[in-house]
Chains A and B, each alone.
Chain A
Amino acid sequence: MNNALLKVEEIDAFYGDFQAVQQASFAVGDKEIVSVIGTNGAGKTTLMKVIGGTLAARGGKVRFEDTDITGWPPHKIVDLGISQVPEGGKVFGRMSVKDNLIMGSYTAKARRGARAALERVYELFPMLKEKADQDAGSLSGGQRQMVAIGRALMSNPRLVFFDEISLGLAPTVIKDIYARIKQLNREGITIILVEQDVKRSLRTCETAYVMLKGKVVLSGKSTDLTEESVSRAYFGM
């Protein structure tokens, strides 16, 4: 893929001496939905941390369009148009829903479009407007994920990654959230789904990468991959 929006090349990442990601490469095309599938501890979240700039890679490169962004600080990466919905949402529990959203437009560039972005997020999730003054910590798990998604959209991103978005949520809520993700994608936002849920990921994405023990062990168009082949790679059989 030559005109990839995001390209990750042979990333090595460590926690202390433990190598969490090994020579991982993948690419995401503009306006595509890509999923990164793998069990707990496969290195998915670590890889996302490297892309987001909160963890330094020991080797490899991350490119966004034609810019080498390896080792850039998080705020510069947000300004480029990459934002994320971290695992568990990680909302600011002691701050109001509105303040949570406003934090999503913290960077200098995002602040200029903050007012319009807030309106758009409220339009997308009317629930957030209703609960604007409530502490985010008092919301249900699904609502907190909505806050986290709204917050990620406040910087008008071109690429959003969702880390284990369905973890611990009720099936109906998960369904709703996935519908929103597809809607965002139709509006032109490129999506990376980091998931353990093989079935749902394959149904939603165009391209899938399967990670196992820090390595990308299988990749392909979701239409070419069978659930069985993915499962086998997923468990390392």
Chain B
Amino acid sequence: MSANADTHSHDDHGHHHKETFVTKYIFSQDHKMIAKQYLITGILMGVVGVLMSILMRMQIAWPEQPNALFEALLGKWAPDGVMDADIYLALVTIHGTIMVFFVLTAGLSGTFSNLLIPLQIGARDMASGFLNMVSYWLFFTSSVIMISSFFVEFGPAAAGWTIYPPLSALPMAQGGSGMGMTLWLVSMAIFIASSLLGSLNYVVTVLNLRTKGMSMTRLPLTIWAFFVTAIIGVVSFPVLLAAVLLLIMDRSFGTSFFLSDIFIQGEVLHYQGGSPVLFEHLFWFLGHPEVYIVLLPALGISSEVIATNSRKPIFGYRAMVMSILAIAFLSTIVWGHHMFVSGMNPFLGSVFTFTTLLIAIPSAVKAFNYITTLWKGNLQMNPAMLFSIGLVSTFITGGLTGIILGDSALDINVHDTYFVVAHFHLVMGISALYGFFAGVYHWFPKMFGRMMNKNLGYLHFWVTAICAYGVFFPMHFIGMAGLPRRYYTNTNFPLFDDLANTNVIITMFAIVGAIFQFVFLYNFFASIFFGKKAEQNPWRSNTLEWTTPVEHIHGNWPGELPHVHRWSYDYSKPGHEEDFVPQNVPLYDGEEELQH
């Protein structure tokens, strides 16, 4: 049954050097510890990011009204408790940056790629434990720098998470474009270095360190997702790094890559010949693939969780892999749909409309495959399963409106309105967050050897699910009324007065939803210490990580690495007593491996 049954007792992996507190918990090179470091840093950054969104929502619902919470948290930026317009934009910017990069890229991908890649492919550790450690500490450094930008004189970057120049390039255009923007750029440059080290490590590990029998077609979909995500990251993150470096040059060394013909505060600046549109191209060449860097790991996690808890093979394994590859390829040639009204050639708009709407096809295939996996299953409603089903639901709801936004003719009208905010929060924010929660609930026993409380998990899911729709569903309609995003207050437009009540309702849902995340935080941190001790394979899953001992050991498996004899989705396979057959169980005489 378990990996230990057929092992010989020799140690050839040479990992048994003495560990001190520092090498075990701080500068650890063990992928499981690094995964936990990513997870906890990601959660802390998530708390900060969500708190910012609540401050913004309160400002939108009760504009320019004094609020004790503002006064307490924002200090000098909320004189007499009234939020300043500059800090509102700073909150918009840093909320976006933190959630997209620090929580849903590093927190999600960093945690689960690190934890699962070696465990699910049957490797002792990542290809390079040292690079992995450096990757985490670069991420940590960039987090500290990003947060520290709240403590500089004119506040953090406030040009939106897309930091389009010239707004981001000129300190005189905006308070946040001074020191705050410098810190943002430095932080992101370090973050990108971290992300690249991590991604290279994931790619190399998946290609080289698969255990005997683990062919690419036997990989769990989680690994496919992490693998392809890492490739997208390696291809597209360097382009953002280039944009960041060029912007630093423009800001600090007088070059004109993105700037030309500017008159501001009574003087003409020397910049000549650059173009902000060039920056937009460079930014979105990462920016759009980034959506899939965020989303694919979540989809991989939900594939695994849905199959395990449906007690059924994932439907259409090959189609799932093909659609991941198709999405990855298409994601690199659609960036222009963020720029339909940027002033680029309208013919490019046509091309990007075409490629963008193509992405709907693999996405639809994935959604239908998830639904078919549920069909005639024996669904075990663990919290991870609920979050995975929730993910499919928000992925569909949010994804469908992409048909409107990806269509250049329609985008003219809803571009940069709340319609966009609703769309991307559902399809990448909430969906990826659900994937993150699903992963935490599912692999918590593997990470900490204890179980999370399921009833708190149910409470957490249902309140979150209702609030997520309560916040973002009506927001589509506000956008359809033409309300632009990133407005500090809408009170200067009587035209939008009839949307004020809806904004209050949305804020209420947001506040309740945010408060109930404390249920998760409590459950998470309390369960680390007081949770029920976990069994070796609590969800009766097929993948290799559940064949390792509950107590973590360096090198993952005592003795020899497990050999793989089948794919990871032999759930409820006829001819087997149990409703699951782990990957290391050999085929019995006459058993056929499914051709997929």
- Whether A and B are associated in the same complex: the answer reads no
